[in-house]
Structure 1
């Protein structure tokens, strides 16, 4: 396609982190989009895992446990560091992690650009680098934490015009910002409601369907109680419960509903690679509000219901979508279930909510071009400009 005319496709170093599934999925989406346009050379780096494996494991466990044991501590840390500057003591310390690993990769791989899906800007913290390598940042939430902001980033890719406006208010030039959407795995553009998908997942095509996603680690609170209450209150409702990598939750769901009167209306799944297919045949989504998950819901035009979002970026993601009419947030399970059942039984309300969701989809992108493809194409275009300018 557009990139095939290049004499040499650029080599990209994609830096991500394994704190939550979204940063990994965004990095993989960019990698796959590069493959769509030719034989790009892609180097993937989970920076903390490869440079500080012990510290990475410890901080990952803290991040995951914060959802159930220390949510307000995590939220406090997020809020207090949100306005931090890149050159503050704490900001400089955070960006120093993985510095030696990045230096080695730059010397060995000689990439044309560094692309971040997590703000470990180790490249930016190098002292006297032998060569300035263009850097691009893909922000994977609907809320802006200043950890993402650094003066040496050549281009920011964001989910919404509101994020673009926030970056401009922080002094980022408008030409260095693009509203691209959040990069998603393949399938969301092509997924449509089809009879064969209902059959594939054991669902009835004529019944309203709620997709309940417990998160990659299966930590959505009270999820089995929530599913049982929904089934008892709505005899025609069917539920697709995605337990992620939490095998204990999946086993508990199977056991709890084995002899349940509504057992035929609940279908439990583990980790799903083809989540776009379940989203295509669902009428609403109950989920943790990770940035990538909510971007997937927007792509699928799926109203999102958020139960007790954890303080920090996920709560801010949820509140942002609620402010746009694309999600409903509640800390009360009964209230959330009642609102969800009212929506799936009210076609006009459902249509109105989907209208608001469509308004969140990027305006500038071609319908057949995904956010990941948009970002890859833009990076290549930006590199051509940078390389051309360097000749003069």
Structure 2
């Protein structure tokens, strides 16, 4: 047994997963906020990708395909397992993935703490099996709590809302182990400073409302085309479509809607590094309801529309925030267009929506987590034990 002292500049592991960009973005945001406070010895690890690359790639592809193929099956599995106990056979099996790889990483890296931004909780399983005593933390990156995030051996939870804190308490987690932080975001969303000249740099007219459409959120090209066709009927609106790294989709859209592109009514972008700028320039956004994307839109006070959210955590995220007046869920392109135009033509409705968004804003979530983490790590045990074979 090797003993490690927690230093004034501790070494941290942040575990994430590559199912979309949200978990990695949250991990990076935490890393950057910790670095701002002088804690720079941080290692980010995609645990499942390192431990089981084939399983990781296969399940990642299946997850991405679930948007267009058998979304109901994914939603059924999600809802069916949502209340599962940490010590159930299924939960134990899920949390076993990456366990041996993590044990080797811990021996090699000798971290002082482990932070999860994805509910692959191999760390608590290691604690139980080996007597490991490294503080572990979980950052919940959705507005819906699946019990896969919950384990009694997690030392501290960072959650987006007071409602989730109460849900954790009802599951037996002590209130003192829960911090209402929000979902950690990129630095640009924490300190928004938008220069008026940005509109011109993105080719946007100051005289028109801007509807921001996240293309990857809309499932198939045919659905996206229907949405754009309907919205382009409104001449006083500029559509901004972000296609991410899907260059083929961007090229296809420019060809399909060449006349709108030529007149400037439609702007098509690929990957945008400074997404906070486009969001701040927009009047509303059409997006999928992933936790990080929703938190980003809320941080800039951007009214949110989500089209037929995928069953599972994304639909539950949307339903939760719809109940708070922050999200509008629509089922058809025509309904989407009607709801957007209804919003844009009613300043009182826009103000009401922005007020609801402001009540939910937690722009400084990453800083809150970093400060709380430093405080909680300081009062943890002064040593950790790693069992070596």
TM-score range, shorter chain: over 0.9
Residue 153 (structure 2) aligns with: 152
1:295 CA drift (Å): 0.2
Query: CA 1:214/1:261 → structure 2, altered by over 3 Å: closer, same or farther?
Result: closer
Which of 362, 375, 382 aligns to 2:376? It is 382
1:275 CA drift (Å): 0.6
Residue 136 (structure 1) aligns with: 137
Matched position secondary structure for 2:292: helix
Please identify runs of 4+ aligned residues in structure 1 that moved more than 2 A.
Answer: 127-131, 189-194, 214-221, 259-263, 387-390
Q: Does 1:229 align with 2:230?
A: yes
Task: Report the Cα distance in structure 2 between the residues aligned to 1:43 and 1:132, rounded to whole angstroms.
Answer: 19
Matched position secondary structure for 1:278: helix
How big is each residue's C-alpha offset from its partner over 1:173-207, in whole Å with a ceiling of 9 and x where there is no partner?
11111110100011013224432110111101221
**Counterpart contact for 1:214–1:288, Cα < 8 Å:** no
Q: Does 1:276 align with 2:276?
A: yes
Query: CA 1:326/1:124 → structure 2, altered by over 3 Å: closer, same or farther?
Result: same
Task: Report the Cα distance in structure 2 between the residues aligned to 1:222 and 1:192, rounded to whole angstroms.
Answer: 34
Residue 312 (structure 2) aligns with: 312
**Counterpart contact for 1:237–1:265, Cα < 8 Å:** yes
Task: Report the Cα distance in structure 2 between the residues aligned to 1:215 and 1:30, rounded to whole angstroms.
Answer: 25
Q: Which moved more, 1:254-263 or 1:303-312?
A: 254-263
Gaps of 5+ in 2: 1-5, 385-389
Alignment of 1:231-380 (within 5 A): 231-232=232-233, 234-260=234-260, 263-362=263-362, 370-380=364-374
Task: Report the Cα distance in structure 2 between the residues aligned to 1:137 and 1:221, rounded to whole angstroms.
Answer: 38
Residue 3 (structure 2) aligns with: none
**Counterpart contact for 1:218–1:249, Cα < 8 Å:** no
1:131 CA drift (Å): 3.4
Q: Which moved more, 1:95-104 or 1:379-388?
A: 379-388
Residue 18 (structure 2) aligns with: 18
1:39 CA drift (Å): 4.5
Alignment of 1:89-108 (within 5 A): 89-108=89-108
Task: Report the Cα distance in structure 1 between the residues aligned to 2:260 and 2:23, rounded to whole angstroms.
Answer: 38
1:262 CA drift (Å): 7.0
Query: CA 1:192/1:209 → structure 2, altered by over 3 Å: closer, same or farther?
Result: farther
Residue 170 (structure 2) aligns with: 169
Matched position secondary structure for 2:44: strand
Residue 3 (structure 1) aligns with: none
Query: CA 1:236/1:223 → structure 2, altered by over 3 Å: closer, same or farther?
Result: same
Task: Report the Cα distance in structure 2 between the residues aligned to 1:218 and 1:174, rounded to whole angstroms.
Answer: 39
How big is each residue's C-alpha offset from its partner over 1:209-262, in whole Å with a ceiling of 9 and x where there is no partner?
111112379768712321221121x21100110012222211111111223487
Residue 179 (structure 2) aligns with: 178
Query: CA 1:293/1:75 → structure 2, altered by over 3 Å: closer, same or farther?
Result: same
Task: Report the Cα distance in structure 2 between the residues aligned to 1:221 and 1:170, rounded to whole angstroms.
Answer: 43
Residue 187 (structure 1) aligns with: 188
Matched position secondary structure for 1:103: helix
How large is the Cα RMSD of the aligned pairs? 1.9
How big is each residue's C-alpha offset from its partner over 1:85-110, in whole Å with a ceiling of 9 and x where there is no partner?
11100000000000111101111111
Task: Report the Cα distance in structure 1 between the residues aligned to 2:34 and 2:69, rounded to whole angstroms.
Answer: 39
1:129 CA drift (Å): 2.7
Task: Report the Cα distance in structure 2 between the residues aligned to 1:108 and 1:220, rounded to whole angstroms.
Answer: 46
Task: Report the Cα distance in structure 2 between the residues aligned to 1:250 and 1:10, rounded to whole angstroms.
Answer: 44
**Counterpart contact for 1:192–1:280, Cα < 8 Å:** no
Matched position secondary structure for 1:142: coil
1:266 CA drift (Å): 0.7
Query: CA 1:388/1:110 → structure 2, altered by over 3 Å: closer, same or farther?
Result: closer
**Counterpart contact for 1:10–1:380, Cα < 8 Å:** no
1:349 CA drift (Å): 0.8
How big is each residue's C-alpha offset from its partner over 1:136-159, in whole Å with a ceiling of 9 and x where there is no partner?
000000000000000001111111
Matched position secondary structure for 1:306: strand
TM-score using structure 2 length: 0.93
Task: Report the Cα distance in structure 2 between the residues aligned to 1:143 and 1:7, rounded to whole angstroms.
Answer: 35
Residue 37 (structure 2) aligns with: 37
**Counterpart contact for 1:216–1:245, Cα < 8 Å:** no
Residue 387 (structure 2) aligns with: none
